[in-house]
Amino acid sequence: AQSVTQLGSHVSVSEGALVLLRCNYSSSVPPYLFWYVQYPNQGLQLLLKYTSAATLVKGINGFEAEFKKSETSFHLTKPSAHMSDAAEYFCAVGRSQGNLIFGKGTKLSVKP
């Protein structure tokens, strides 16, 4: 069975500070891993994905995530937060023929 755990339902950072959103997964087979972002009153959109190529994945808006098999982690980072990054972020795990399993989400606030 697959599962994903996001540590911290709310994260608050100052503008210009490092953003770190944590995600740990459980999977019995090599997983596909995703980060989706949801801006207020909108649907989710793909931020980045890992599908067994490079372990460091770069996404849109300056975000990146590193797949660490030994730690079963796929943490999302951005060196310098911008006010427009305020949103809810979802980590998800899936398989080629399976469903996507979402974490419970982390709401990111950015203080001026």
Residues at the contact surface with other proteins, assessed by CB under 8 A? 9, 32, 34, 36, 41-46, 49, 51-52, 90, 92, 94-100, 102-105
User: Phi then psi for 76, rounded to 5 degrees?
Assistant: -100, 135
- Residue number with CB closer to other proteins (84 or 96): 96
Least CB distance from residue 16 to other proteins, whole Å?
Answer: 29
Query: At closest approach, how far in Å is the CB of 87 from other proteins?
Result: 14
Of 18 and 60, nearer to other proteins (C-beta) is 60
DSSP of 32-78:
EEEEEEE-TTS-EEEEEEE-SS-SEEE-GGG-EEEEETTTTEEEEEE
Instruction: State the amino acid at position 7 in one-letter form.
Output: L
Which lies closer to other proteins via its Cβ, residue 17 or residue 72? 72
Nearer to other proteins, 70 or 97 (CB): 97
